[in-house]
Structure 1
Amino acid sequence: MRIAPRTALALALAALVAVAACDRSQAPAAAAPTPADPVRAEGPALPAQSIGGLAIEGEGLRIFDAAGAPRALPFETPQATVIAAVAASVGGAAPEVITNSECGAGPVQFARFANGLQLAFQDSKFAGWTLDQEGLSTVDGVEVGMSRAALSANRTVEMQEDSTLGAEFSAGDISGFFASTAADSPVTSMYAGLTCFFR
């Protein structure tokens, strides 16, 4: 039996369609991967005043902008720069600067802010600070008002046994005073750098 050319062509096309239909058993295409949500780096939480505020430290001060980015104000920074930066950080007008000519290190200029922070300057350079009110802290949480036990859990505390000024301590690069030597006694003040204590 002889198949007409037109019929042969039709049969070939039909066979081709059947084969193609059998090949459609492919696995469904995988869904396009969705981009992962950005992962935020986890880090130690900063004290509240360190977000758009100020922190004390053994080498000076640290200013934080509204995003938490730090700017160091180390000792030896020009006096005008430090006063302007701290005033802008804590709010209010810059304090009056007074001079004490009787300090052991020679004449020292002081600027006291309403939050209990007092800055010391010598030769127009930032030289030290003292703090006697609650509200500011170091980045690791050392602050006025915390107990001796809490401070000891945070840092190594060494008492200055020969101090003539009271229960004086050092805790790393920060020093200060407890109300007494009792374990639950609070920190009453702290300092770093140049002071004008009469011992």
Structure 2
Amino acid sequence: MMTMLGGVALAAPGKDPAPLVLAGDGLAAGGKTLKFDRTAKAQAIAIVTVVRGKPLKLGNHGDCGQGDEIGFATFAGGLELSFVKGKLSGWTVDEGGDARLRTARGIGLGSTLAAVRKAYPDVDIEDFSDSGGPGPSFQREGGPNGFLNGKTASARVTDLWAGATCMAGI
């Protein structure tokens, strides 16, 4: 018997057809592509549930400086999906999260700045620690973006995100 969630047929536990892959414009999970501003909240949650299990928490961050309230669904491994006006708008993987969550180019928590630069040669590095900000980060038009624990080539990614999230208010 097939289980349905949000109109999506769920694979039996342990039968995941594909891993979750992070992207600057969405993510892929369970063999499905989820695009920012196009994928409905219920569909995104249902598909990611196939790969990560049921959300640990659903809620609303309120207005994170972008003019719209941002809802969220938090999953195991520090993965949080963000939603604006009922559509997937972004994702984050927080410090301490699952280092196996990676982009198609292999970047995830724990990746070095050297690996980030190799995977995304057009990345910009900024350091906001002098102005009371969170410290070094990398930004890339179209994402992904992340925080680093330093500015050297061996510095590591501590947080990763793309799209409209409350992590960076972008």
| Conserved 8 A contact 2:90-2:163 | yes
CA gap 1:94/1:196 in 2 versus in 1, 3 angstroms: closer
| Conserved 8 A contact 1:84-1:94 | no
Q: Which has the higher strand share?
A: 2
Using the size of structure 2 for normalisation, the TM-score is: 0.76
Which residue of the partner structure matches residue 169 of structure 1?
138
Q: Which has the higher helix share?
A: 1
Deviations 1:133-159 (A, max 9, x none): 211111121111011112222222311
2:158 is matched with which residue: 188, 194, 197? Answer: 188
| Conserved 8 A contact 1:110-1:121 | yes
Deviations 1:9-52 (A, max 9, x none): xxxxxxxxxxxxxxxxxxxxxxxxxxxxxxxxxxxxxxxxx962
Q: Over the residues paired in the alignment, what is the CA RMSD in angstroms?
A: 2.1
Which residue of the partner structure matches residue 79 of structure 2?
117
TM-fit CA distance, 1:180: 1.3
Q: How many Å separate the matches in 2 of 1:86 and 1:146? A: 23
TM-fit CA distance, 1:162: 5.2
Q: How many Å separate the matches in 1 of 2:76 and 2:120? A: 28
Q: How many Å separate the matches in 2 of 1:143 and 1:198? A: 17
Question: Partner of 1:169: helix, strand, or coil?
Answer: strand
> How do residues 86-125 of structure 1 correspond to structure 2 at under 5 angstroms?
86-90=48-52, 92-105=53-66, 106-125=68-87
> How do residues 107-146 of structure 1 correspond to structure 2 at under 5 angstroms?
107-132=69-94, 133=97, 134-146=99-111
| Conserved 8 A contact 1:54-1:61 | yes
Q: Which has the higher contact order (CA 8 A, sep 6+)?
A: 2
- Between structure 1 and structure 2, the one with the greater Rg is 1
Question: Partner of 1:81: helix, strand, or coil?
Answer: helix
> What is the letter of the counterpart of residue 103 of structure 2?
T
> What is the letter of the counterpart of residue 155 of structure 1?
Y
Q: How many Å separate the matches in 2 of 1:155 and 1:116? A: 23
Instruction: Name stretches of at least 5 consecutive residues in structure 2 with no aligned partner.
Output: 1-15
Instruction: Name stretches of at least 5 consecutive residues in structure 1 with no aligned partner.
Output: 1-49, 66-70
2:126 is matched with which residue: 136, 144, 160? Answer: 160
Which residue of the partner structure matches residue 21 of structure 2?
55
TM-fit CA distance, 1:165: 2.4
> What is the letter of the counterpart of residue 98 of structure 1?
G
Q: How many Å separate the matches in 1 of 2:55 and 2:160? A: 22
